[in-house]
Amino acid sequence: MLNMDFEKSIVITPDQQEWEASPMAGVWRKRFAFEEKERGHATSVVRFDPGSRFSRHEHPLGEEIFVLSGVFSDESGDFPAGTYFRNPEGFAHAPHSDEGCELFVKLHQFKPEDSLRVCIDTHSADWSPGHGNSQVLPLHSFQGEQTALVKWPAGEKFIPHQHWSGEEIFVICGEFIDEHGRYPAGSWLRSPRPSSNHPLAEKDTIILVKTGHLA
């Protein structure tokens, strides 16, 4: 078990972890949180070496993926960097990558009633205005849980705010900054309820944000 106390703040930057082998040859991971060694709740970055593949499997309580680099493939198609997935319970596939890829992956974290499969190409999707000069791309919403991409231009400052039901962030590019520290691309942060912060960006930055799931 790792980082499963949702009442604690967790920050993991990419230099804090080394790649570790998964049960499948050529598939590697950096695990941020997990319930059991090879099953249950897990949050990680996964790397497929070129030509590697995973055996066919299902995902109890779902799988959530954001493709960070390369091209991720399964029986339903080839999906480049910037693709967001939600594969609900009952969906089965045998993923692979011909050229290699890296993914941000969350396993076994869907609400039981959340059965919609989602696949979004975030490069072609329509972004909406956010606070100030920021932009927001909603990705998923279900029973109070919200997932979105937030794009901040260099120099943007966000309003101070509280996370009444918790917040989780993965920094996709740029650097996320708040009064507690600086977090480069590849960093993962989980803030419990009702923590607060005052974030800003000194360079163009995109973060994947999830709220409402730690209540």
pLDDT at 69 (0 to 100): 98
Q: Using an 8 Å Cβ cutoff, are 122 and 110 in contact?
A: no
Q: Using an 8 Å Cβ cutoff, are 151 and 177 in contact?
A: no
The separation between the first and the last C-alpha atoms of the chain, rounded to the nearest angstrom, is: 21
**pLDDT confidence band for 160 (50 / 70 / 90):** confident
**pLDDT confidence band for 1 (50 / 70 / 90):** confident
Question: 35 by DSSP, 3-state: which?
Answer: coil
pLDDT tens string 54-102: 889 888 999 999 999 999 999 999 999 999 999 999 999 999 999 999 9
Average pLDDT over residues 5-17: 93
Q: Is the dihedral of CA 43, 178, 152, 146 positive or negative?
A: positive
Dist. CA 205–CA 70, nearest whole Å? 20
Q: pTM of the entire structure?
A: 0.96
